[in-house]
Chains A and B, each alone.
Chain A
C-alpha cells in the first residue's frame, strides 16, 4: 500500500490573496460613505455586488433569494458602517454580513433540523472512487474540456447539498475563510469545521463524478437537510 510522498505544496491550498491597493481604496470609500457620500457607497456596492451575490447564491441556491440577500447585505452594511473598525478588510466584513443573512434566509426557508453530519465514520470513506476526478481531469486541469463541463454543473451540484454543507463550502472556497474564522463564524469547533468540510467536499465530488459519468449518480441524500450553523 506504500506510495511516494506527495509534495508538501500539494497538501496545502494557498489562501486567496487580497489586493492591498483595493483595500486602501475601499477604506477611503468607506470613510466617505460614513460622511454621507452616497456616491462613495454606491461605488462599494458596484465593486462587490457580484461577489456578494455569488456568496449568497452558493448558500441559498435560489438566484432571486440570493439577489435579495445580496441587497440586504449592503443595506445592513450601510447601517453598521460606523461599527466597521477596519480591523479586517471591508470585503471580509461585508461577506460576513452576507453570510449571516444568507444563513438566516436558509433557516427561514427550511425547518431547522439537528445537524448530525459531522462525524467522519468509516462508511463515509468507503466509496472507493477517490482519485478518479484527478485522473480524469488530468495534470493540467485549467485546460481540460471535462473541467469546463464540470464547472457548468458545479452550482447545480452545490444546490443539491444540505444547507450546512453549502454554507461551509462557500465560506471556505469562495470567501477563503480559515478554519479558525469558520469556527468563529459558524459557532462550531475546529474539529467540526474540518469534518463538515470533508463531508461537504465528499458529496460535491460524488456528484461531479456522476456528472462526468465516472460513477453512477448518487441518490438524493435523505435525512441530511440540516440548517447551516
Chain B
C-alpha cells in the first residue's frame, strides 16, 4: 500500500511525462499490484467522459447572442470604421428576433392578418354605396341631370339660367 501512494499518482501520465526511470518503476509496480491495475482500468474506462460531458452541457446552451455580447463589450474604436457597425446592427436584430421567435412570427404575420381583416370587413359591409339612381341633387343655380348609363347613373350639372 505504501508503494501505491507513490505510484498511483503516476497513473494516467501522457507519453513522455514520466522519466524513463519513473515509467520503469511504475510498470514494475503494476505487474504485481491488483489495486493499481484496477485504478488504471478505471482511468481508461472513464477516459474522455468529462470532456464529452462538458461539451454536451455547452451544446445544450443557446449561443445565439454570445458573440454579439462579446463584440458589444469591445470599444468601437478597436475596429476599422465602416462595415462592422452596420453588420453588427443587422446581426443584433437577427439575434434579437432569434431570441424572441414568437415576436418575430407575430411581426411577420401581423400585416397579412390586418390586410385580410380589412378585406373581410369591406366584403361584409358591401363596399361603398353605389350612387342611387333616385338620388336628388339640388342647387340654387345648377340643374342636375341624372343619366342612367350602362356604368350606372351619371350626374350632369348644367347652368339652367345660362341655357
Q: Are B43 and A201 in contact (CB under 8 A)?
A: yes
The distance in angstroms between the C-alpha atoms of A8 and B24, with both chains bound, is: 11
Is B17 close to A, CB under 8 A? yes
Is B73 close to A, CB under 8 A? yes
Given contacts A11-B27, A13-B12, A121-B5, is CB(A133)–CB(B45) below 8 Å? yes
Is B146 close to A, CB under 8 A? no
Residue total for A at the interface (Cβ-Cβ under 8 A): 75
Q: Are A45 and B9 in contact (CB under 8 A)?
A: no
Given contacts A63-B61, A151-B56, is CB(A125)–CB(B8) below 8 Å? yes
Q: Are A194 and B84 in contact (CB under 8 A)?
A: no
Given contacts A10-B40, A131-B41, is CB(A70)–CB(B79) below 8 Å? no
Given contacts A3-B32, A10-B44, is CB(A174)–CB(B67) below 8 Å? no
Is B155 close to A, CB under 8 A? no
- Residue interface bits A177-197, CB-to-B below 8 A is 1, else 0: 011100000000001001101
The interface stretch among A17-25, A46-54, A98-106, A220-228 is A46-54
8 Å CB interface, B54-106 against A: 54-59, 61, 63, 66-67, 69-71, 73-74, 78-80, 83-84, 87-88
Residue total for B at the interface (Cβ-Cβ under 8 A): 63
Q: Are A122 and B1 in contact (CB under 8 A)?
A: yes
A120 contact set on B, CB distance < 8 A: 5-6, 8-9
Question: Which 10 pairs across A and B sit closest by C-beta, in order of nearness?
Answer: A131-B38, A130-B38, A154-B53, A38-B84, A134-B41, A36-B80, A194-B9, A198-B9, A54-B54, A134-B45
Interface of A with B (CB < 8 Å)? 1-6, 8, 10-15, 35-39, 41-42, 45-46, 49-51, 53-55, 57-58, 63, 67, 70-71, 74-75, 78, 120-122, 124-126, 128, 130-135, 137, 141, 147, 150-152, 154-155, 158, 169-170, 173-174, 178-180, 191, 194-195, 197-198, 201, 204-205, 208
